[in-house]
Chain A
Amino acid sequence: MNSENPIWALISTFGLMSLFAVGGAAAAVPEMHRIAVDVHHWMTDKQFADAFAISQLSPGPNVLIVTLIGYAVAGIPGALAATLAMCLPTALLAYYVSRLLNRPSQSRWPAMIQAALVPLSIGLMAASALILAQSTTHTVIAALLMAGVAVLASVSRVNPLWLLLAGGVLGFAGVV
């Protein structure tokens, strides 16, 4: 570690990872685990699992699991460096691509390509939900809790925060 500045290691790791992270933060989690735990030994397996749960529980985009990884490596500067490296390059890329696609002089192609991506995007989200469901529900009660939240949030406009808090209370009480 002494030979290499850990901040630069974080920036190059997450900057590079973000450029290959098609499908969003949920799709990148297995790759983050491989790099942080297996390759660099920045965290233990348990610390990574906890970081994942905390990033789910906390407000903000779930990609902010990188903030926790960055902190574990290099404290507060590490947390900030990892977050920016993961978020800024691809956001700028998205800005330029979106501008390219929405240039008024262009044909109907951009609209058609965007419309064609919609069903694939929804299919990917559904697949993430399935994969996460398989890794978080180990009991019947946990599955029931998940299904109940899914139905409630689909048919009503109840604030999702209450549903998350209810899940936390059930977990706290040892029910789930």
Chain B
Amino acid sequence: MPAKTVPPGLFALFMAFARMSLAGFGGVLVFARRAIVDDHRWMTADEFNETFALCHFLPGPNIVNLSMVFGSRLRGLAGGVAAFAGLLVPPTLIMTALAVLYAHFGELEVLRRTLAGVSCAAVGLLIAVVFRMMMPLLKRADAIALVLMAAVFVAIGVLRLPLQAVLLVAIPASIAVTVALRRKVAA
């Protein structure tokens, strides 16, 4: 299991997720990865990738699922709820306040220009996260994983094939390859 050190308390979990959530402009994943793997060392890079991948393939917002799964792995259901609440309560209050402001000032052109600039930077950050998540695969020179990754990227991003159809093929294929390889190593 991830934490070899003493697992954090409920309040510490709430605060940690509130902090990464409030820092998480343009998406929380960047900050969650940094806090969990680099700062607190609650998980290794590979453990984080595997937990995130699980949450990615379950329905619903990934990072919200991640908070619940991660918190519960450290502190049971109460830990999951603490992380979930930390992640959602503060930004929901802020978002509600912004909704009220937008209802009054939404027509300003300068606001829209500013939002466009922020969006560009946010996509740049997303690209950087993808790159950092690829690092363990690149370091291992895991050719099969890299080919699977590239195939999904091309199918969804370039060919714009329907998500369900791609996953219906890609998930069994990837599991079959992984199982076959580990059998070979074990034999």
Give A contacts to B, CB under 8 Å.
18-25, 27, 47, 50-51, 53-64, 67-68, 71-72, 76, 79-80, 83, 86-95, 97-99, 101-102, 108, 111-133, 136-137, 142, 145-154, 159-161, 163-164, 166-172, 174-176
| A-B pairs under 8 A by CB, number | 361
Q: Is B3 an interface residue (CB 8 A)?
A: no
Could you list 17 examples of A-B contacts with CB < 8 Å? A47-B106, A53-B112, A57-B25, A62-B27, A71-B96, A71-B99, A80-B96, A98-B54, A115-B50, A117-B171, A119-B145, A125-B56, A150-B128, A154-B132, A167-B121, A167-B122, A171-B114
Decide: A59 and B56 in contact? CB cutoff 8 A: no
Q: Which residues of B contact A90 (CB under 8 A)?
A: 58-61, 64-65
Q: By CB atoms of chain A within 10 A, which of B50, B63, B122, B179 has the most?
A: B122
Residues from chain A with a CB closer than 8 A to the CB of B28 are 60-62
Chain B CB within 10 Å, residue with most, of A112, A152, A163? A163
* Contact yes or no, B96 A76, CB < 8 A: yes
Q: Known interface pairs A90-B61, A150-B131. Does A61 touch B171 (Cβ–Cβ under 8 Å)? A: no
A97 touches B122 (CB 8 A): no
Please state if A50 and B119 are interface contacts (CB–CB under 8 Å): no
Chain B 139-166 interface residues, beta-carbon cutoff 8 Å to A: 142, 145-146, 148-153, 155-158, 163-164
CB–CB A174/B60 < 8 A: no
Contact A60 B91 (CB under 8 A): yes
Asked if B133 and A161 make an inter-chain contact with CB atoms under 8 angstroms apart, the answer reads no
Give A57 to B157 CA distance when docked, in angstroms: 23
The distance in angstroms between the C-alpha atoms of A68 and B92, with both chains bound, is 9
Do A59 and B73 touch (CB < 8 A)?
no
**B178 & A130 in contact (Cβ 8 Å cutoff):** no
Q: In angstroms, how far is the closest chain A Cβ from the Cβ of B48?
A: 10
B84 is an interface residue with CB less than 8 A from chain A: yes
Q: Are A153 and B87 in contact (CB under 8 A)?
A: no
Q: Which residue of B lies closest to A149 (CB)?
A: B124
Chain B residue nearest to A131 in the complex (CB): B157
B123 touches A146 (CB 8 A): yes
- On chain B, the residues within 8 Å of A61 by CB distance are 21, 24, 27-28, 61, 63-64, 87-88, 91
Q: Give B53-89 interface residues, CB cut-off 8 Å to A.
A: 53-69, 72-73, 77, 80, 84, 87-88
- Contact between chains at A18 and B174 (CB < 8 Å): no
Inter-chain CA distance A116–B142, complex, in Å, is 12
B12 contacts the other chain (Cβ, under 8 Å)? no
Contacts of B98 in A (CB 8 A): 54, 58, 68
Residue B6 is within 8 A (CB to CB) of chain A in the complex: no
Cβ–Cβ < 8 Å partners of B80 in chain A? 91, 95
Chain A nearest Cβ from B23, distance in angstroms = 7
The answer to whether B88 and A83 touch across the interface, beta carbons within 8 angstroms, is yes
CA distance A72 to B99 in the complex (A): 8
What CA separation (Å) do A102 and B70 show in the bound complex? 12
